Amino acid sequence: MNQHTALLDVRDLVVRYGAVTAVDHVSFTVDAGETLALNGPSGCGKSSTVAAVLQLRRPENGSVRFEGRELTTLSERELRPLRPRMQPVFQDPYGSLSPRHRIRDAVAEPLRVQGRWDAAGPARVAALLDRVGLDPAYGDRFPHELSGGQCQRAGIARALASEPRLLVLDEPVSALDPSVRAGVLNLLADLQDDLGLAYLFICHDRAVVRHFADRAVEMRGGRLVPA
Partner 1 sequence: MRQAVGKSVGPAGPTRFLCLLAVLAAVGLLPWFSGRDPALTVLRARSAEQEATPEALAAIREDLGLGAGPLSLLGRWASGLLRGDLGTSWVSGTEVLPSVVSGLQVSLGLMGAAFAVAVLLACALVAPVLVRGRGTAGAFAAMLAAVPEFLLATVALLVCGVWLGLLPTSGWAGPAYLVLPAVALGVPAGGLLGRLVADALPAVLDERWVELWRGAGVGRARVAAAALRRVLPPLVPQFGMAAVGLTGSAVAVETVFAVPGIGRTALGAAKSQDLPLLQGSVLALLALGLVAGALAALVRRRLLGPALRDAGLTLPAARPFRTRPALPLTLAVLLGVTIGWGLLRDPYAVDTTARLLPPSWAHPLGTDGLGRDVLARLGHGAATTVGTAAAVCALSLLAALALGFLPRVAEGASDIANALPPVIAGILVAAAAGPGTRGAALAVALISWPPLAAHAAALVQEVRASTFLTAQRAIGASPWWILTRHVLPSVAAPVTRHAVLRLPGIALALASLGFLGLGAQPPTPEWGLLLDESRAYVERAPWAALAPAVALALLAGLAVSGSAATRGRTRRNGSARAGRPRTDDKDRPRHPKAPAGGRDGDDETLAGAPHA
| Residues 71-100: x where in contact with partner 1 by CB under 8 A, - otherwise, as a string | ---------xxxxx-xxx-xxxxxxxxxxx
Is 45 a binder of partner 1 (CB under 8 A)? yes
Rounded CA separation 200/29 (Å) = 9
Residue from 129, 150, 154, 224 that binds partner 1 (CB under 8 A)? 150
d(CA 215, CA 30): 9
Give the 3-state secondary structure of 38-49.
EECCCCCCHHHH
Nearer to partner 1, 3 or 69 (CB): 69
Q: Please, which residues bridge with residue 63 across strands? A: 11
13/97 with CB nearer partner 1:
97
Phi/psi region, residue 81 (left: phi>0; alpha: psi -120 to 50; beta: rest), is alpha
Residues in contact with partner 1, shown as a per-residue x/- string from 172 to 191 under the rule CB under 8 A: --xxxxxxx-----------
What residues contact 170, with CB distance under 8 A and at least 6 apart? 46, 47, 50, 88, 89, 90, 91, 202
Shorter beta-carbon distance to partner 1: residue 3 or 225: 225
* Distance in Å, CB of 2 to partner 1, minimum: 27
User: How many residues interact with partner 1 (rule CB under 8 A)?
Assistant: 52
Using the rule CB under 8 A, which residue among 171, 172, 199, 213 binds partner 1? 171
Stretch that binds partner 1, among 5-13, 64-72, 170-178, 213-221 (CB under 8 A): 170-178
d(CA 155, CA 150): 9
Q: Where are the beta strands (DSSP E) in 44-197?
A: 61-66, 69-70, 86-89, 166-170
User: Phi-psi category of 116—alpha, beta or left, where left has phi over 0 and alpha has psi -120 to 50?
Assistant: alpha
CA distances 109 to 88, 121, 144, Å, are 15, 10, 18
Pick from 22, 125, 132, 154 the residue near partner 1 by CB under 8 A.
Answer: 22
Cβ closest to partner 1, residue 104 vs residue 158? 158
Residues 10, 37, 129, 146: which binds partner 1 (CB under 8 A)?
Answer: 146
Binding-site ranges for partner 1 (CB under 8 A) = 22, 41-43, 45, 47-48, 54, 56, 80-84, 86-88, 90-100, 109-110, 113-114, 144-150, 155, 158, 162, 171, 174-180, 204-205
